[in-house]
Amino acid sequence: MEVDVLGIDLAKRVFQLHGATRTGTVLHRSKVSRPSLLESIRRLSPKLVVMEACSSAHHWARVLRCQGIEVRLISPQYVAPFVKTNKNDRNDAEAIVEAASRPAMRFVAIKTIEQQDLQALHRLRQLLVHQRTAIINQVRGAGRTRHRCGPVASGVPPRDARCAGQPRR
């Protein structure tokens, strides 16, 4: 069976496939396990595979591209309006195909492993900066409840070294 567009809703163990023609006629719907995904895709021989963009989608996109299959990723925010009824894996796969059929749809670039590693590093740094700021503010707040003031050791000078309510010297 030749499917024009194959939408895949990715999950941890079971993937939902939705195959259709360019006009939207449904040709295939199935659930497949992770080990049998590639075999199912080979059997359907789609011209285009579409998935929601997430970290595992980039991995699968790289794998499918190596096999000569055209792959596109769509941001989840652009897929959400096409979910017709209850949100479940089957309806998500159908919505992915529907969104991909739109001529003005914007697709996400497939990231390399290095790009994903760099993005993870940036997110980790952002998290650490956020946590450091939260701890500094918590220590400063605890000190002010005890009427103590002064800088908190963060390498950054305080904005105001005086505590509210204490007279100037």
Strands 48-52 and 70-74: parallel
What is the three-class DSSP state of 35? coil
pLDDT value at residue 156: 57
Q: H or E element: which one contains 10?
A: none
Phi, psi of 165 (to 5 degrees): 90, -10
What burial class does residue 155 get, using C-beta atoms within 10 Å of its C-beta: 0-12 exposed, 13-18 middle, 19+ buried?
exposed
Cα 86 to Cα 65: distance, rounded to the nearest angstrom: 32
Q: What is the DSSP letter of 53?
A: -
pTM of the predicted structure, to 2 decimals: 0.74
Cα 99 to Cα 18: distance, rounded to the nearest angstrom: 13
Cα 158 to Cα 24: distance, rounded to the nearest angstrom: 61
Cα 107 to Cα 71: distance, rounded to the nearest angstrom: 10
Provide the residue-wise pLDDT of the chain in tens; the chain has 169 residues.
678 999 999 988 999 999 999 888 899 999 999 999 999 999 999 999 999 998 799 999 999 999 999 999 999 999 988 888 888 888 889 999 999 998 899 999 999 999 999 999 999 999 999 999 999 999 888 888 776 666 556 665 555 555 555 555 5
Q: H or E element: which one contains 69?
A: none
Q: Which CATH superfamily is domain 5-111 in?
A: Ribonuclease H-like superfamily/Ribonuclease H (3.30.420.10)
pLDDT value at residue 157: 54
* Contact between 23 and 64 (Cβ < 8 Å): no
